[in-house]
Amino acid sequence: MDFCFTTIVVLLGLLGTGSCAPIGAHDACGDARSSSLELNHLAKIASEEVKQGSTDQASFSSKLAFMQASDMCDPESLKHKSMPCVGKIFSTLKSYSFAVKRISGFQSCMKSVENVAKALEKLSRDMGKCVESLGGPNHQLEFPGELPRHRKMNVGVAHSEVNPNTRVMNSRGIWLTYLLLTVVLHVVLLSIPFLTVPLVWTLTNVIHNLAMYLFLHTVKGTPFETPDQGKARLLTHWEQMDNGIQFTSSRKFLTISPIVLYILTSFYTKYDPTHFFINTCSLLSVLLPKLPQFHGVRIFGINKY
């Protein structure tokens, strides 16, 4: 049984805890129960799709949290002390949200898992409102999965990403910086007297694609120590981006940009056969590794370790 199916099936067993608020709670807990039922429905659909034809295998795995008998989520414990159970529910939801995002990199269950991820986020918000309606958590005590509203210290200074490589291309100004560097490269080459305009465009295209290939599709791991226990050690930067989710805005941008540069280069070189051949090969070298079919693939074992 693959990781996608296992995670969704175990998720179904978690959903019953989403409606464990004591009887007589405020209406806010009713929203959490409704969200739990909606999530249960979507998870069942995703589970059926996976069972019917998924052949995907996980290229990485996540340590999932499970509800245990010691978490004090039984009705009697909830009547006297609900905080341990609520804390475990939040940490479990967070664990499964992370797992679902990882799964969404698989083509066979992408659409269904995206719906499950949205329902997970909605249930987490509704659970927060439910806890607030019951008096909220103890501000003096920290517990796993503490509500986001209690984490507002040093806003904008830190992030919660285990691996910053997953979100660096979504940072503010990074796309503009990338475009400006490409323009600067082209201007510098144009300033060299003995280079013709067609040659400058071809050099711009080749150097741009060479740099993209090296930084996105050759270099593996991270330039800093991460607490992910080495999960990113064998992944290229492209494979780490957005936690492996395909067709995100940053991935589309980095796919379209070399194509646009290739079109401009072909135009300014007047489709000269030699330049056209070189530029086409250069484009394919950065376009093919970006295809979902090549995610995690090492042809002939090259750059495997």
User: How do residues 175-201 score in pLDDT, each as one tens digit?
Assistant: 999 999 999 999 999 999 999 999 999
Higher pLDDT, 110 or 124: 124
Position 51 scores a pLDDT of 59
In this structure, are 174 and 125 located in the same domain?
no
In a domain, 155, yes or no: no
Mean pLDDT score of the chain: 75
Are 105 and 224 within one domain?
no
Per-residue pLDDT, 49: 67
Identify the domain boundary among 123, 150, 177.
150
CATH number at residue 35: 1.20.1250
**Residue 127 covered by a domain:** yes
Position 60 scores a pLDDT of 38
Q: Is the pLDDT of residue 144 over 50?
A: no
Residue 156 domain-assigned? no
Is position 158 within any domain? no
Report pLDDT for 245: 86
- Closest Cα partner for 162 from 110, 103, 94? 94
Q: How far apart are CA 101 and CA 64, in angstroms?
A: 13
One domain, residues 283 and 239 = yes
Percent of the chain with pLDDT over 70: 56
Percent above pLDDT 90 for the chain: 31
Band of the pLDDT at 22, cuts 50, 70, 90? very low
pLDDT-based confidence at residue 58 (cuts at 50, 70, 90): very low
Domain stops at, among 150, 178, 213 = 150
Q: Identify the weakest region by mean pLDDT among 119-123, 149-153, 210-214.
A: 149-153
CA-closest candidate to residue 87, choices 135, 32, 45, 127: 127
Q: Tell me: pLDDT of 274 over 60.
A: yes
Q: Is 157 among the domain residues?
A: no
**Does residue 245 or residue 19 have the better pLDDT?**
245
Shared domain for 101 and 22, answered yes or no, is yes
**To which H or E segment does residue 251 belong?**
helix 249-268
Please compute the mean of the pLDDT values over residues 162-185 and round it to a whole number: 90
The pLDDT score that the predictor gives to residue 52 is: 62
- Name which residue leads in pLDDT, 141 or 193: 193
Q: How many domains does the chain have?
A: 2
In a domain, 107, yes or no: yes
- The reply to whether 242 and 189 lie within a common domain is yes
Phi/psi at 33 (5° precision): -65, -40
Does residue 127 contact residue 93 with C-beta atoms inside 8 Å? yes
DSSP state, residue 220: B
Whether residue 93 is found in the same domain as residue 195: no
Same-domain pairing of 97 and 221: no
| 172 and 241 share one domain | yes
Last residue within a domain, chosen from 150, 178, 194: 150
pLDDT for residue 5 is more than 70: no
- Which residue stretches of 54-109 are H helix? 75-80, 83-103
Could you give phi then psi for residue 236, rounded to 5 degrees? -75, 170
286 part of a folded domain:
yes
The domain in which residue 87 lies consists of 3-150
Distance (Å, whole) CA 248 – CA 254: 10
Q: Are residues 184 and 282 in the same domain?
A: yes
For residues 73 and 202, the model is more confident at: 202
Tens of pLDDT, residue by residue over 221-267, are 887 777 766 777 888 999 989 888 899 999 999 999 999 999 999 99
Are both 141 and 168 inside the same structural domain? no
Residue 210, pLDDT > 50, answer yes
Same structural domain, 134 and 171: no
Do 294 and 212 fall within a single domain? Answer: yes
**141: confidence class by pLDDT, cuts 50, 70, 90:** very low
Per-residue pLDDT band at 301 (split at 50, 70, 90): confident
Assess if residue 45 is contained within a domain.
yes
Sequence-distant (6+) residues with CB within 8 A of 296 are: 59, 235, 239
Q: Is the pLDDT of residue 156 over 80?
A: no
84 or 14, which is more confident: 84
pLDDT at residue 191, rounded to an integer: 96
